[in-house]
């Protein structure tokens, strides 16, 4: 390489290096207050924001002899969320950092008024990721939920986050809804979103004290309780445990759960089953009058977990009878749940309108503007198919074996 080429190469290297992005906007951990949970309530015309911040001096070690809290929850009011967070800096010793947010909790009164102003701010904030979970404080406010200490996790927000995952996977009466999912369902037309509910069970005041952690049976706990039904961005009501499970079946959000049916063939007692998998499909069509109608097809796979009656499990007819009982119960629950949501809330949380839009776009165009009104009276038929895969490591019920000896 000639001297001239070396000079040119060096000049290019200097120019290119000046264009590289350095750590111009870096922030040191010692300067940040990491927010792991955010609660949003209404107080008059203002927003009341609760920010659960990790105490770095305590969270990395075992619970200290001094009993210092592993988190600190700051609360502040403001005309908007940014206003309240800015005012919070007068209390917090460090800059609030929102990128590690795990859960966001809305007070019930706020959710009933509408979440659009909140979602607009959250979606615009480049610091907030969209993978945190959202909850509604049932019959309570978000501040109370974020004030409860938890026995298993040192950081209450982490306990709340983990319990969302566990209950969603094994119980099926709740859901893990992220910001992106909520906005997508709300905006796409022909469907309305749901959110999981969380409730403070016990004395709210005692739930704030670390003394709670010294009890084998804590007097105050956080409970996940049912689904909150929304019409667009506004909360319109709540579903109980069975109805919440049914909604999740239709939304294909059931990873596994437990159920029971009466023993067939006139026997007294129950058969407990574990649901292994669930698939649902909504078919849209036009009936004889040219009106939109729907057919729901559900298929379930289950194992027999426990038997409380004298059934002959070696007889294939017994398995067929159990499957028939499960099919009947699932069909009745689903039909009843759909009618209740239609009559009580008028909110299409199942996505029937979306199915119509996808399968019959020309028909959907005629009903799109007033879909919520039509949904209240839409005809829905339900079909269920159940397959029992396993009956356990023993064939006959223990009660039957004992009586035959």
Average pLDDT over residues 99-119: 95
Cβ of 67: how many Cβ atoms within 10 Å? 12
Token reading at 118: 């909140």
For position 356, what pLDDT does the model report? Answer: 96
Calculate the alpha carbon distances from 89 to 26, 32, 83, 378 in Å.
19, 11, 10, 52
| β 46-54/71-78 pair status | antiparallel
E strands, 142-269, are 194-201, 221-231, 234-239, 257-262
Cβ of 243: how many Cβ atoms within 10 Å? 21
CA-nearest of 221, 230, 177, 172 to 200 is 221
| β 46-54/103-107 pair status | unpaired
List pLDDT tens digits, range 332-379: 999 999 999 999 999 999 999 999 999 999 999 999 999 989 999 999
Among 105-109, 210-214, 361-365, the minimum mean pLDDT is found in 210-214
Domain limits, the chain: 27-239, 257-405
For position 24, what pLDDT does the model report? Answer: 45
Phi, psi of 312 (to 5 degrees): -90, 95
C-alpha count within 13 angstroms, C-beta hemisphere, residue 300: 32
| CA–CA distance, 293 with 198 (Å, rounded to integer) | 35
| CA–CA distance, 265 with 89 (Å, rounded to integer) | 68
Among 6-20, 92-106, 250-264, the minimum mean pLDDT is found in 6-20
- Model confidence at 93, in pLDDT bands (50, 70, 90)? confident
Asked if 29 contacts 19 with a C-beta cutoff of 8 angstroms, the reply is no
Asked if 217 contacts 157 with a C-beta cutoff of 8 angstroms, the reply is no
Phi, psi of 251 (to 5 degrees): -90, 5
261: left (phi over 0), alpha (psi -120 to 50) or beta: beta
C-alpha dihedral, 85 to 90 to 96 to 101, nearest 10°:
-50
Phi, psi of 51 (to 5 degrees): -115, 115
- Model confidence at 67, in pLDDT bands (50, 70, 90)? low
User: Class assignment of domain 257-405?
Assistant: alpha beta
* Res 187 pLDDT > 70: yes
For position 62, what pLDDT does the model report? Answer: 46
List pLDDT tens digits, range 136-179: 999 999 999 999 888 777 788 998 999 998 888 878 888 899 99
Token reading at 298: 């559900």
List pLDDT tens digits, range 231-288: 999 999 999 999 999 999 999 999 889 889 998 877 889 999 999 999 999 999 999 8
Calculate the alpha carbon distances from 8 to 3, 16, 17, 18 in Å.
9, 12, 14, 16
CA-nearest of 65, 58, 59, 38 to 50 is 38
DSSP labels, 100-164? T--EEEEEHHHHHH-SHHHHHHHHH-TTS-S-SEEEEETTS-HHHHTT---SS-SSHHHHHHHHH
| CA–CA distance, 43 with 107 (Å, rounded to integer) | 10
């Amino acid at each position: 390489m000639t001297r001239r080429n070396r000079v040119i190469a060096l000049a290019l290297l200097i120019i290119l290096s000046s264009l590289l992005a350095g750590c111009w906007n870096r922030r040191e951990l010692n300067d940040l207050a990491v927010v792991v949970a955010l609660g949003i309530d209404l107080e008059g015309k203002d927003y009341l924001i609760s920010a659960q911040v990790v105490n770095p001096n305590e969270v990395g070690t075992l619970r200290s002899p001094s009993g210092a809290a592993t988190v600190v929850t700051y609360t502040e009011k403001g005309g908007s969320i940014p206003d309240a967070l800015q005012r919070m800096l007068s209390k917090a010793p460090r800059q609030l950092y929102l990128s590690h947010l795990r859960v966001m909790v809305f007070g019930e009164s706020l959710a009933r008024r509408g979440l659009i102003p909140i979602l607009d701010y959250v979606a615009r904030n480049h610091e907030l990721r969209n993978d945190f979970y959202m909850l509604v404080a049932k019959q309570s406010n978000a501040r109370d939920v974020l004030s409860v200490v938890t026995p298993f996790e040192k950081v209450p927000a982490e306990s709340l986050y983990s319990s969302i995952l566990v209950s969603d996977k094994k119980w099926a009466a709740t859901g893990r809804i992220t910001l992106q999912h909520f906005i997508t369902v709300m905006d796409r037309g022909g469907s309305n979103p749901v959110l999981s509910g969380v409730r403070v069970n016990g004395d709210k005041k005692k739930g704030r004290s670390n003394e709670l952690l010294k009890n084998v049976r804590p007097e105050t706990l956080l409970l996940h309780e049912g689904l909150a039904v929304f019409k667009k961005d506004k909360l319109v009501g709540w579903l109980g445990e069975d109805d919440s499970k049914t909604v999740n079946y239709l939304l294909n959000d059931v990873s596994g759960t437990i159920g029971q049916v009466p023993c067939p063939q006139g026997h007294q007692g129950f058969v407990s089953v574990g649901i292994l998998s669930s698939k649902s499909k909504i078919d849209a069509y036009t009936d004889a009058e040219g009106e939109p109608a729907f057919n729901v097809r559900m298929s379930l796979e289950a194992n027999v977990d426990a038997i409380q009656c004298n059934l002959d499990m070696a007889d294939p007819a017994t398995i067929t009878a159990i499957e028939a009982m499960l099919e009947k119960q699932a069909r009745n629950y689903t039909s009843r749940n759909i009618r209740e949501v239609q009559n009580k809330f008028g909110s299409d949380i199942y996505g029937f309108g979306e199915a119509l839009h996808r399968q019959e776009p020309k028909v959907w165009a005629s009903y799109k503007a007033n879909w919520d009104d039509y949904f209240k009276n839409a005809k829905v038929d339900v079909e269920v198919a159940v397959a029992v895969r396993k009956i356990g490591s023993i064939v006959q019920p223990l009660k039957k074996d004992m009586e035959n000896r």
